[in-house]
Structures are given as C-alpha cells and as structure tokens.
Amino acid sequence: MKKKGLLVSVFTNATLIGEEHVRLFQKYPPRDIEVTAYGVTQETYERVTRTAGSYAAFMNGLSLLLQNGIQVRLKAMALRSNVHEIPEIARFCREKTKDYFRLDPFLHLRYDRNVRRNEEIRSERLSPEEIAELERNDPERLEALRKACGTWTAPVTPTHWCNHLFHCGAGNGSFSISYDGVFRLCPSLWHPDCVYDLKRGNLKEAWQTFIPQVREMKSNSTEFLDKCHACSIVNLCMWCPANAHLETGAMNATVGYFCRVAHARTGLWGKTLEPSGPVEQGV
C-alpha cells in the first residue's frame, strides 16, 4: 500500500514485534506506529491480557522498536483492571512516545455481538464520573480534550437538524482495511451496509463510490433527531454511528452510557455547560 502512495498507520501491542518487523519499518517507515500499553507492571498488564508472558513480550517488542530508532506513539486504555496504574502508565508512555500520549476511556463492544464477552467488556468500563475525574487529574489530557471538544460546545443551531448520520471524519481522509480485505470507513464501523469486500471489488470503487454512498445515509428517527442529533454537548459524548451500532445494533440509536459520560464532562473546565436535553439512562 505504501508503494501505491497511501499513508499507512500500524496499530499494535508490540508483543509479536521481531527483528523482521524492525527491518520492514526501517525500509518502509509507516506514517505512525501506535503501541498500546495495558500496564507498566507484569501484574497489571497480564491481568488485562490474561496471558502469561505477555508483559515480557510487550517490553521486548517495544524495546526493539525504540532501540532501532523506530518512532512510536504510545497509548493506553483506561480499564477497571488498570485504572489504579494510569498515572504510572502515563509517565511511562510520555517518556518514550514520539510526540503525544493518548488515553482512551472507552471500550468498544464486539462486532460479533458475543453476549458473554460484551458483558465482560462492560464490567471493565469506568463510570462516567470516574472518566471525568481521570481527565480532570491529568492536565495534558484535559487540555487536549478542551482543544478538541470544549470550544465546540454550543447552543443548538439549524444545522443540527440535518438528518445525515455521519458528521464525523470517517472516510474523508482515511479508511480501514482488515486482515481479510474488508474495507471500512473507520475501524469501528461494522454495520453490514457500511463494509465493502475488496476481494469482490477494488480500492478505487470503494473510495470513489462506496464511501459517498455510506456518508449519504440519513435517519428519520424522531427520537434520535430530537435527542442525540440536536444535543449541544454531543462533542463531549462518545456517540457516533459506528459506536451506536456496536452498542445497540442500530446506527441511529441513543446510548445512555455515552450520554452520562457527556454530562459528567460538562464541568471539567470550571463551569457547568448547559445541555440541550435530559440525561439518557440505560447502559
């Protein structure tokens, strides 16, 4: 893909990184290599992965990259199993990362809708109040969130009533291709109407024809249009069509957990922002 002029990003936990990968990255440097750190102690790391030896493999893979001059970006998921170690994880990552450390407090549900595994994922999620407190106590994270989201919060305007589902950047300048050749506008978008099998088509058609078709999708759900789509603090929320589909099976559904996160975040900058509607309940 790099030879075709595409900018390639690599997402990895580094546990399988070996010398052959280092040589490949040196020959064809990706735009980004993002490495996820689940913990900075063996106990915490392997509590998350549930795999003995994974911490040593992570440290070895990361060391191989860094020692060979491969620039990486480090990120972490904030989970019930590692939340006690988040300050240490942040320090570890910021010492080694290329130019930023990213903390993600949101665990996606599984695209295969496995009930048992999804319950495990929900049990690892932090509460909205814990997420807001975590962000409040991390000045770099708080400032990044303010720049990305805080200044966007605004009263409802007529443009909010456009009923297109996609107002994010999915498919505008990037896309995702899975190991089996499935093309998606973003890594989280698994709705069957929003995936394209490259084995039965080609990248040009996916980019020039399929993406515009997906981004033209609309919703006529009154509940959705009156609540999430018109909410003045939706930028503080985790809602998007892809996430809504993973949570509920519908791309235009409201999600109570996302709503409560947005409301918990409204006081992060020393003032309470006025949302446009009631707090959605439920998971």
Q: Tell me the average confidence (pLDDT) per consecutive run of 10 residues in the chain, 283 residues long.
A: 77 96 94 95 97 98 96 95 95 89 90 95 95 88 75 49 85 89 95 96 96 95 86 85 95 93 83 48 52
Whole-prediction pTM value? 0.82
Q: Is the dihedral of CA 151, 169, 194, 217 positive or negative?
A: positive
Structure tokens at 117: 């595994």
Report the DSSP beta bridge partners of residue 75. 36, 102
Q: Torsions phi, psi of 144, nearest 5? A: -65, -40
Give the C-alpha separation, 119 to 130, whole Å. 19
Locate tokens 């559904």: which residue? 253
**Nearest in space to 230 (alpha carbons), one of 144, 158, 180:** 158
Query: How many CB atoms lie under 10 A from the CB of residue 283?
Result: 13
Structure tokens at 241: 């069509």
Helix (H, G, I), strand (E, B) or coil at 256: helix
**Nearest in space to 152 (alpha carbons), one of 2, 252, 273, 39:** 273
Give the C-alpha separation, 233 to 110, whole Å. 26
Helix (H, G, I), strand (E, B) or coil at 60: helix
* Domain edges within the chain: 2-104, 158-265
pLDDT at position 7: 83
Give the C-alpha separation, 18 to 57, whole Å. 10
